[in-house]
Structure 1
Amino acid sequence: MGSYSYTNTSPYQPQDIEDASEFYDVIERSSLTHQLSESRPYVYWTMEIYDKANGIKGGGGLGVLAADTRRVAEKLEVPFVVVTPFYRSESHQKITDLAQTEYVEKVSPQEYGFHYIDEVSVSSAGFPDASLSVFRKTLGSTQFVTISEPNFGQLYEGEGSGDHRLYQEVALGFGGYKALKLLGIKPAVIQLNETATIFAALARLDELCANGMNLYEAIVYVRKHTLYTNHTLLQAAEPEFHRSQFEKLVLPNLKSNAVRCWLMEQFRNDRLRPNLLAIELTEAKNGVSKLHAHVANFRDRNNDKVKFHAITNGIDLETWVLPEILQAYREHAIIDKFGLPTEQCQEAISGLSAATIRSLKRTGRLELNRVLARRKDQYNNPVHLPEDALVFDFKRRFANYKRPHLPFERPEVLKQILLDSNAHYILAGKVHQGDHDMYQQLLTILKLVDSDPVLRERVHYIQDYDETLGRALAIGSDVAINVPIIGLEACGTSWEKDIANLKLLISTSDGGVADIKPIACLEVSGVSLEDETTSLYANMRRAAQIIANDELLTQHIHRQLTAYLPIISGARMLKDYLKFLFPARHTTK
């Protein structure tokens, strides 16, 4: 993402951290100074990372989270390595006659400062070995280690249970592990960001056994040093592969007969979901919000329910928060130099006045309009929002469970809200390739908007949703709408960016929002779709009233920040992971 340009010099200046030991002392893990190093770092495996500034454009929230985790580690000087594919083609969205189409742009690692290291290979039965190019880029205490080859394909290309998807996962796991060995990097701990990365743990298990370690001792070792971070609520929703696919694509990469036999024993009726391997090969497991950890329904091979520890996703504040707002947080002692909430955070938040909040939001609107001037709406025109207009937004992946259709259930009511409040509604988010039902839903919404002159003037669908647009909307609009079906959102982080940027949030009690009970925002509730729609419209009207009144505005912004800023902090998230993975050492006298 490019730097802000609405002001010559940002008032926010990050405070220097001498080295990671400062942070380790604050989180009561001073021993990490000896446990983590450049050659023995924290290693984070992920199929996607959304970090366009470094040339890698992921598909959604999973990739955004991965990028934020690395950024936070860099700022805190924590030795941290991301192992991920470098996708040489990335998909973009275009709206033609109100329907979504896609086009592809080619990218290369060298264009973004990655350095070529060497080749590693992965094997498959009946085919020549696939040669993977290893590229590395160092950013402070952190590194990208990427694998790539011309036929690797786009992110999540092909069917979820198809051969090509399995090849991508095998290449990342086994190829990525070989890349680390090539670079002399031995992980102190491995975090698997979702099931698709499990072959990294299998590669480590195979190496240990091939070097002479007993299978069960090796399993214990791998389990002790591997964390499985799950973002999926239902085990059955994850891909399943046939034994023949593993025989073709996985077994040729295993050197140990013991590991081969153990792996084949995991199949049931010749089928295997890789999440069962993730459960077997990791001791530490976490969900990404309190609700997710509680409701995630996963079973091990004995059909016992798997227990997930809750570590709620956070964001990198410096990436997503308006610099002037971040400076205000520093000046009011709301957050410290590490990005952690201070002990006096709650009292300090009360010092943010309505005048300060409104001034900061005006600055944010300038940035939003700067970005919108370079983007296109559903009619391929730029958008300019009046300074005095109220702006609602819905910005997230266009998925059915996120319910982008909900505000359009009663068009006449929505139209009246927009007119009465002098409001505009911005809709942003792509349909995943191949999701034909959501292609149709997007087309239906845009045709509905097109059919009414008021909606056509005040509802703007912004094409090709990405980090830059997401940040601009978080900074510059007034009210965020987050209405997933309860029980289906693992966490979400868009709402966190909204609250951190002093926006009002309208939300169902789901994902990370539900870490606080009752939720500390305008809640959409009801026992039916009709009830929830009524509740949403009532909250949109209520939000307009709150923003028009200084006292109500400060009351609600203070309430949201007090409840959620300790959750939103990316430094808090990394602290929680480090404390979970490296328990305090107790000494006896």
Structure 2
Amino acid sequence: MVQVLERCTDGLQERESSRSFFDAIGRPDLKEKITPQSPIVSFSMEAAIPDGSYAGGLGILERCKYFQAGKDGIPYVLVTPVYATRGRQEGAVEIGIYGTEENRFRSYHREYPFDPEGSAWGTSEWNQDVLVRTNGHTTRFGLFTQEAGSAKVFGLFEPGIGSLYQAAQDSSHRMYQQVVLGFGGFRSLQAKGIKPSVYLINESASVFVALANLDDTCNNGVPFEQALESVRGETMYINHTLEQAAEAEVSRDILEEYAIGNMTSLDAANWLRGLIDGNNGIIRLNTLALALSGTRLGVSKLHTQIANGERETAEGILVYFKDHEGNKIKFEHDTNGIFMETWVQEGFMNLYKKEKAIDVFDLPTPDYQERIDRLDGKKLREIKEIARRELREFLTTRKDQYGEPIKIEEGAKIASWAKRFVDYKRPHLLFNDVRRLAYLLESENMHILMSGKYGGDNFSHIFGLVDKNPVLKKRVHFVQGYDVDVAQKMVTGSDVWLNTPVVGKEACGTSWMKAIGNLTILISTEDGGVADITPPAYLEIGGDFDSEQQHFIYSQLVRAARIVDDKDEDSTWTSFTKGQLKAYLPVISGARMMRDYILKGFPEESQESRVSQDVEETVFSTNGHGYSPWVNGTVS
């Protein structure tokens, strides 16, 4: 982590006397609009930052955005709760359970208290306390901060906030956490004298910052309709799941106790009540996010098309997102990206920069494809071998499903799968024909690494099969304690990466992006961000059903092994992995992702931007902060 922070600082020093990121993307005018006091601000329930909490891809993505912005000199703030309870999943196979011959994998979720004081969060600025009212009580939050280059994190903490995603989606405690993020986050920015140039709402759980903004704008004397239009003009709603029906429904009673209790504008509060009452006393937070945002983003081309009703879902039906009046909502797409400094092996990154395939901002250069073609194949092989060795050494420090260190012999190939063990990601696809898989692994001298958040029947079934087959027991390894370090070593050192979601279910995914950046051969279905590029530049898992796709995955594993050994009829390892990188470099680039956020949030001289600017001048014409009874004082 220290290395990542140093790279952010180095990136700023490298450009000290050169052009800015805004110059590089053709918008120098934004240097006066996006500033340290008017930064881009992203709100998220989770973030995989130092001593942060995360459950999956959203937290990893927020980490990438934070460090990418910091490195590129983009004024940026990430707002997230600091959770008081942390958990870690552990486990091992228990032999001979209950006196039988059956071996079972048992997982244990261990929780422990967390005090941010003295951690990566430093010391709370108690003179910048933030007040949030919930269920008739006012709670005081300490404001903690982190910093990387031009980016900052604001973290809100109080001991009762609990753990990440504690309780059910529609529970009062979950609502409490979401209101803390929204209203508390908004007030923390006010406490620092920050007026965001644009708000990024990540998932509907972050919507309450837009409601807080609406309430505050109305309190500053702006007529309601103009205030609503202003809030929409500066709010970008990013949906990372694109399954509107999966949202929990929230009752008016819960919103009265937790959200409306924080509002002081009668117009704003009555507008919210009207939305709820118009929907039989309940509302989905996704519906509220659509009502308060002017720009709505999907996170890959395919899933944006599905959200817009332009492509069928995995179930073969057409659906689309709609607002509270039943009108069809139009999504734009900004495919997720990765912060390559974290996820791409240092040797590869240095070579990409030296040969000018990417510039100082990590943006692909205009002739990046030609420059990738010119990369020295021998040097690429040497770097990949270093990454393989580092992975093997790292695995000896981690435990497998039996609680033993993982030892893989030099020269063996490694294929990896690392995600949450949920049905639509299909970790089971590899194991539908265990005899064929065992023969393949042994004949090709290959090992399988699996890691990620696990549990449930899916996981137990897989490792039950593994345990019963002597070849799989030797060659299939579950890496316990999945974290950023495990993920980084797996994507850099693996020979093959497996991406097996049901087509139409994965909103984007980024593990495959990290693999491609590290010249790892990708075997994947055509889903999520992988489908941004056609025709496929990877080894595709074709077919419409599991029975067909399992055949593809086994045959593609064999072909991948031959490519690694330079024994494939059509491709060498160098030509194939270069081809993947040439196809996907603009897609995987975190700098490209940040550019697209900026260009969508700041369309040149649009009517929306003029309305928002007029309102901003009205609100901040007196003291530069706007009115709020919730910061550094008592509630009026």
TM-score (norm 2): 0.87
1:114 is aligned, of 122, 125, 136, to 122
User: Which residue does the alignment assign to 1:434?
Assistant: none
Q: Decide whether the 8 Å contact of 2:448 with 2:477 is kept in 1.
A: yes
CA displacement at 1:518 relative to structure 2: 2.2
- Mapped to 1, the partners of 2:300 and 2:275 lie a distance apart of 29
Amino acid of the structure 1 residue aligned with 2:116? P
Q: List runs of 5+ in structure 2 lacking aligned partners.
A: 95-104, 308-319, 607-636
Q: Decide whether the 8 Å contact of 2:121 with 2:144 is kept in 1.
A: no
User: Which residue does the alignment assign to 2:134?
Assistant: 124
- Mapped to 2, the partners of 1:76 and 1:2 lie a distance apart of 17
User: Which residue does the alignment assign to 2:451?
Assistant: 428
User: Which residue does the alignment assign to 1:345?
Assistant: 368
Q: Deviations over 1:350-402 (max 9, x none)?
A: 12344233211110012212321221110111112222001000011222110
1:417 is aligned, of 421, 436, 440, to 440
* 1:299 lines up with 2:297 in the alignment: no
User: Which residue does the alignment assign to 1:374?
Assistant: 397
> 3-state DSSP class of the match of 1:49?
coil
User: Which residue does the alignment assign to 1:313?
Assistant: 336
* 1:555 lines up with 2:575 in the alignment: yes
Q: Decide whether the 8 Å contact of 2:41 with 2:76 is kept in 1.
A: yes
Cα 1:528–1:138, aligned 2, differ >3 Å: closer, same or farther?
A: closer
CA displacement at 1:475 relative to structure 2: 0.7
CA displacement at 1:113 relative to structure 2: 4.1
- Mapped to 2, the partners of 1:73 and 1:396 lie a distance apart of 26
CA displacement at 1:26 relative to structure 2: 1.2
> 3-state DSSP class of the match of 1:151?
helix
User: Which residue does the alignment assign to 2:355?
Assistant: 332
* 1:583 lines up with 2:603 in the alignment: yes
- Mapped to 1, the partners of 2:524 and 2:151 lie a distance apart of 35
1:173 is aligned, of 149, 170, 182, to 182
> 3-state DSSP class of the match of 2:165?
coil
User: Which residue does the alignment assign to 1:491?
Assistant: 508
- Mapped to 1, the partners of 2:187 and 2:355 lie a distance apart of 48
- Mapped to 2, the partners of 1:423 and 1:225 lie a distance apart of 51
Amino acid of the structure 2 residue aligned with 1:154? S
CA displacement at 1:115 relative to structure 2: 3.1
* 1:164 lines up with 2:181 in the alignment: no
Q: Deviations over 1:394-415 (max 9, x none)?
A: 0112221101111011100110
Q: Decide whether the 8 Å contact of 1:191 with 1:228 is kept in 2.
A: yes
- Mapped to 2, the partners of 1:449 and 1:137 lie a distance apart of 43
> 3-state DSSP class of the match of 1:31?
helix
* 1:276 lines up with 2:280 in the alignment: no
Q: Decide whether the 8 Å contact of 2:421 with 2:458 is kept in 1.
A: no
CA displacement at 1:139 relative to structure 2: 2.5
Amino acid of the structure 2 residue aligned with 1:103? R
- Mapped to 1, the partners of 2:280 and 2:17 lie a distance apart of 52
Amino acid of the structure 1 residue aligned with 2:133? S
* 1:197 lines up with 2:195 in the alignment: no
Matches within 5 A, 1:159-558: 159-267=168-276, 268-296=279-307, 297-431=320-454, 438-549=455-566, 551-558=571-578
- Mapped to 2, the partners of 1:177 and 1:304 lie a distance apart of 29
- Mapped to 2, the partners of 1:529 and 1:458 lie a distance apart of 23
Q: Decide whether the 8 Å contact of 1:169 with 1:197 is kept in 2.
A: yes
Cα 1:184–1:378, aligned 2, differ >3 Å: closer, same or farther?
A: same
> 3-state DSSP class of the match of 1:564?
helix
Q: Decide whether the 8 Å contact of 2:179 with 2:259 is kept in 1.
A: yes
CA-based RMSD: 1.9
- Mapped to 2, the partners of 1:353 and 1:90 lie a distance apart of 45
CA displacement at 1:332 relative to structure 2: 2.1
- Mapped to 1, the partners of 2:554 and 2:452 lie a distance apart of 21
User: Which residue does the alignment assign to 2:47?
Assistant: 49
- Mapped to 2, the partners of 1:545 and 1:130 lie a distance apart of 61
Query: Number of matched residues?
Result: 572
- Mapped to 1, the partners of 2:179 and 2:34 lie a distance apart of 27
Q: Decide whether the 8 Å contact of 2:67 with 2:148 is kept in 1.
A: no
Q: Decide whether the 8 Å contact of 1:40 with 1:188 is kept in 2.
A: yes
Q: Decide whether the 8 Å contact of 1:546 with 1:552 is kept in 2.
A: yes
User: Which residue does the alignment assign to 1:564?
Assistant: 584
Q: Decide whether the 8 Å contact of 2:357 with 2:371 is kept in 1.
A: yes
* 1:573 lines up with 2:573 in the alignment: no
> 3-state DSSP class of the match of 1:115?
coil
Cα 1:525–1:2, aligned 2, differ >3 Å: closer, same or farther?
A: farther
Amino acid of the structure 2 residue aligned with 1:215? F
1:102 is aligned, of 109, 114, 121, to 109
2:62 is aligned, of 41, 48, 66, to 66
- Mapped to 2, the partners of 1:370 and 1:55 lie a distance apart of 25
- Mapped to 2, the partners of 1:208 and 1:328 lie a distance apart of 49
User: Which residue does the alignment assign to 2:316?
Assistant: none
Cα 1:216–1:21, aligned 2, differ >3 Å: closer, same or farther?
A: farther
Q: Decide whether the 8 Å contact of 1:85 with 1:148 is kept in 2.
A: yes
- Mapped to 1, the partners of 2:237 and 2:503 lie a distance apart of 24
Name the % identity.
Answer: 39
CA displacement at 1:211 relative to structure 2: 2.0
- Mapped to 2, the partners of 1:375 and 1:17 lie a distance apart of 39
CA displacement at 1:519 relative to structure 2: 2.2
CA displacement at 1:57 relative to structure 2: 2.7
- Mapped to 1, the partners of 2:265 and 2:468 lie a distance apart of 64
User: Which residue does the alignment assign to 1:36?
Assistant: 34
TM-score (norm 1): 0.94
Q: List runs of 5+ in structure 1 lacking aligned partners.
A: 5-9, 432-437
- Mapped to 2, the partners of 1:273 and 1:426 lie a distance apart of 39
Q: Decide whether the 8 Å contact of 2:87 with 2:110 is kept in 1.
A: yes
